[in-house]
A and B are shown apart, each in its own frame.
Chain A
Amino acid sequence: MAVVFDRPHALADVPMHYCPGCGHGIIHRLVAEAIDSIGAEGRTVGVASVGCSVFSYNYFNVDMVQAAHGRAPAVATGVKRANPENIVFTYQGDGDLAAIGTAETVHSAARGENITVIFVNNAIYGMTGGQMAPTSLPGQVTQTSPYGRDVATVGYPVKVCEMLSQLDGPAYIERVAVNSVANIRKAGRAIKKAFRYQDEKKGFSLIEVISTCPTNWGMTPEKAMKWAEENMIPYYPLGVYRDKYAEKK
């Protein structure tokens, strides 16, 4: 019987703790596919961060280290500098990457550190139960913005791809989403390209993935997909923000 669908080899065969409808499961799969696509499972080291994806170290069949909140790009830098032949990626959420870890994010990008950063933006702190994230939308109701994010007092969301694309360091920056089949396919291609770039020693890449959090958004998974489409993607336009090597052609 022909196999038409299977688990990527780099994805561990264990139950995940994520909520129904959460985007992490899809994104984990895409990352594992990317690792498989360059045949790098045996030489990949992943860096898990703090947030819902903290347990991602259990879900990939690759060596994993769990970093302190926000510090994953610095930890990845240490791993990569120690063994440059390893493929090194971080897997971070919005609070981790765009709030507490902003400095590590910006400077690893500025250095052009040859690592791949997977940035999952679902506009909320999931692990701690739904607080306002640096990427929560203006007006978005969360546990710590119960009257909606008031930009007059807490300011505006951080647009990571736009910000980092101003730097000379990064090789590749793209924003993708996993709220529809078409977008998931595009996201998979982007993540594969990011890993391939690292394998080709092209330098820093970051893929921002617009994802959903039905639990903390207080919606059904289906409604959450729609909410991402109608609210997040207009604020965070998808597309390539930086591709040093495409520019050179």
Chain B
Amino acid sequence: MAEKVLMKGNEAIAEAAISCGCRHYFGYPITPQTEVAAYMAKRMPKIGGTFLQAESEIAAINMVIGAAAAGVRVMTSSSSPGISLKGEGISYMAGCDLPALIVNVQRGGPGLGGIQPSQSDYFQATRGGGHGDYHLIVLAPASVQEMAELTVRSFDLADKYRVPCMLLADGTMGQMMEPVTLGQSGGGTAEKPWALTGTGMRRPHNIINSLSLTPDELERWNVDRYKRYAQIAANEVMYEEYLCDDADVIVVGFGIAARVARNAVNSARAAGIRAGMFRPITLWPFPKEALFARAATAKAFVSVELSMGQLIEDVELAVRCTRPVSLCSRTGGMIPSPAEVLAAIKAAGAAQKGGN
């Protein structure tokens, strides 16, 4: 087994990307994800890769488009305001069916916001973020180990389905250090016959393009893409359940919120309350069937998030409003404390007892 090392989450992303064959990184500095760029700047020249600090996030995502079109594994990373700037490019990537990894180490918003951790880009990430009918595959790590593992998984999924993937982390996940074991996956094996490498005078030219002025053709492209999305939803959903089997109250949260929720669930159990935690790892596709199954036994749900109530909408949709869902959230860079989550669990449990 590979050695356990201590690493910041941001560095783990970078090293994991390199370990699975990513040799091209384009980015622009922004707190709290700059360690990804710094790590790449140090490593890439030594392994024959490209690190390029672009003139803007817009340029960076378009460089990613170029490299992805050329068939290589490529990534960019940024934080919330920078991801907004990349929105145009991300929409083009979806329209062009280009695989790549986009990392968002979220900070508080809107606008310039703050630099402390946040999850308030949930809607932006899970609904696409740019214009048009499309989705990204969105993965939410909750540990430094997952920062590494889900980075590799993102590249694999992106290549498999020709869909851009987003790793949706937050400032805490980026800045914290934990022991991590890095694997060597050796790089993608996906064939990319569509890539722009030159015709070699052996085949017709490849065109990568998202433009069609013929509505029925554009509709067909979108419908075909959504067939792929349906496959992703059927095959690639990931989630973690903690003490859910007998739980009366299930806390739903991802990333740092799930870490806090886990403490609160333990405290609730110690106090005799049957609480559990459900952690979506793929935010898109959302694990709605698995969560709905829990609604058969759980009496109430609590959405724990670092935003004003975004994840809660997917929780409500998933349980199809068969159970009450309450919100426990902080925003602007604040993080709910385990005590706040515990209070929310108690309140949700009490409301159910009162109601029955």
| A adjacent to B, CB under 8 Å | yes
Q: In the bound complex, how far is the Cα of B63 from the Cα of A103, in angstroms?
A: 13
Q: Which of B198, B209, B210 contacts A86 (CB 8 A)?
A: B198
Within 8 A of A (CB), among B169-228: 196-202, 205-211
Is there an interface contact between A82 and B198, defined as CB atoms closer than 8 Å?
no
Q: In the bound complex, how far is the Cα of B59 from the Cα of A240, in angstroms?
A: 28
Is there an interface contact between A60 and B205, defined as CB atoms closer than 8 Å?
yes
Q: Which of B59, B196, B205 contacts A71 (CB 8 A)?
A: B59
Count residues of chain B with CB under 8 A from any CB of chain A.
40
Is there an interface contact between B65 and A44, defined as CB atoms closer than 8 Å?
no
Chain A residues with CB under 8 A of B72 = 82-83
- Chain A minimum-CB-distance residue to B72: A82
Q: Which of B58, B74, B209, B211 contacts A78 (CB 8 A)?
A: B74
Is there an interface contact between B197 and A104, defined as CB atoms closer than 8 Å?
no
Chain B residues with CB under 8 A of A60 = 205
B155 interfacial contact with A, CB 8 Å: no
Within 8 A of A (CB), among B278-297: none
Chain B residues with CB under 8 A of A47 = 66
- Chain B minimum-CB-distance residue to A77: B63
B64 interfacial contact with A, CB 8 Å: yes
A74 interfacial contact with B, CB 8 Å: yes
B70 interfacial contact with A, CB 8 Å: yes
Is there an interface contact between B69 and A75, defined as CB atoms closer than 8 Å?
yes
1/0 contact string of A118-133 vs chain B (CB within 8 Å): 0000000000000000
State how many angstroms separate the Cβ of B218 from the closest Cβ of chain A. 14
Chain B residues with CB under 8 A of A64 = 196, 205-209
Given A61-B199, A66-B211: A104 in contact with B55 (beta carbons within 8 A): yes
Is there an interface contact between B211 and A74, defined as CB atoms closer than 8 Å?
no
A81 interfacial contact with B, CB 8 Å: yes
A76 interfacial contact with B, CB 8 Å: yes
Q: In the bound complex, how far is the Cα of B62 from the Cα of A86, in angstroms?
A: 18
A63 interfacial contact with B, CB 8 Å: yes
Is there an interface contact between A107 and B207, defined as CB atoms closer than 8 Å?
no
Chain A residues with CB under 8 A of B88 = 68
Is there an interface contact between B208 and A82, defined as CB atoms closer than 8 Å?
no
1/0 contact string of B14-34 vs chain A (CB within 8 Å): 000000000010100000000
A99 interfacial contact with B, CB 8 Å: no
Q: In the bound complex, how far is the Cα of B52 from the Cα of A223, in angstroms?
A: 47
Is there an interface contact between A57 and B59, defined as CB atoms closer than 8 Å?
no
Is there an interface contact between A68 and B197, defined as CB atoms closer than 8 Å?
no
Count residues of chain A with CB under 8 A from any CB of chain B.
36
Q: Which of B74, B199, B206 contacts A82 (CB 8 A)?
A: B74
Within 8 A of A (CB), among B32-65: 50, 52, 54-56, 58-60, 62-65
A159 interfacial contact with B, CB 8 Å: no
A80 interfacial contact with B, CB 8 Å: yes
Q: Which of A44, A68, A79, A107 contacts B69 (CB 8 A)?
A: A79
Is there an interface contact between A81 and B196, defined as CB atoms closer than 8 Å?
no
Given A63-B206, A83-B197: A45 in contact with B70 (beta carbons within 8 A): yes
Is there an interface contact between B89 and A63, defined as CB atoms closer than 8 Å?
no
Question: Interface centre among A60, A65, A68, A86, by most B CB within 10 Å?
Answer: A65
State how many angstroms separate the Cβ of A8 from the closest Cβ of chain B. 14
1/0 contact string of A43-62 vs chain B (CB within 8 Å): 11101100000100110111
- Chain A minimum-CB-distance residue to B199: A42
State how many angstroms separate the Cβ of B205 from the closest Cβ of chain A. 5
- Chain B minimum-CB-distance residue to A81: B50
State how many angstroms separate the Cβ of A75 from the closest Cβ of chain B. 4
Given A77-B66, A78-B64: A104 in contact with B59 (beta carbons within 8 A): yes
Chain A residues with CB under 8 A of B206 = 63-64
- Chain A minimum-CB-distance residue to B91: A68
Chain B residues with CB under 8 A of A43 = 198, 200
- Chain A minimum-CB-distance residue to B56: A103
A174 interfacial contact with B, CB 8 Å: no
B260 interfacial contact with A, CB 8 Å: no
Is there an interface contact between A66 and B26, defined as CB atoms closer than 8 Å?
no
A167 interfacial contact with B, CB 8 Å: no
State how many angstroms separate the Cβ of A240 from the closest Cβ of chain B. 26
Chain B residues with CB under 8 A of A65 = 65-66, 69, 96, 196, 207-209
Chain A residues with CB under 8 A of B198 = 42-45, 62-63, 83, 86
Q: In the bound complex, how far is the Cα of B199 from the Cα of A61, in angstroms?
A: 8
B134 interfacial contact with A, CB 8 Å: no
A33 interfacial contact with B, CB 8 Å: no
B67 interfacial contact with A, CB 8 Å: yes
Within 8 A of A (CB), among B70-91: 70-72, 74, 88-89
11 contacts between A and B (CB under 8 A): A42-B198, A42-B201, A44-B198, A60-B205, A65-B69, A66-B209, A66-B211, A68-B92, A78-B64, A78-B74, A86-B196
**Could you tell me which B residues sit within 8 Å of A by CB distance?**
24, 26, 50, 52, 54-56, 58-60, 62-72, 74, 88-89, 92, 96, 196-202, 205-211
Q: A71-B58, A78-B68, A81-B67 are in contact. List 9 more A-B contacts (CB 8 A).
A: A47-B66, A63-B197, A68-B62, A74-B59, A77-B62, A78-B62, A81-B50, A81-B66, A83-B71
Give the 4 A-B CB pairs with smallest separation, nearest first.
A78-B66, A74-B62, A82-B70, A43-B198
**Could you tell me which A residues sit within 8 Å of B by CB distance?**
12, 41-45, 47-48, 54, 57-58, 60-68, 71, 74-83, 86, 103-104, 106-107
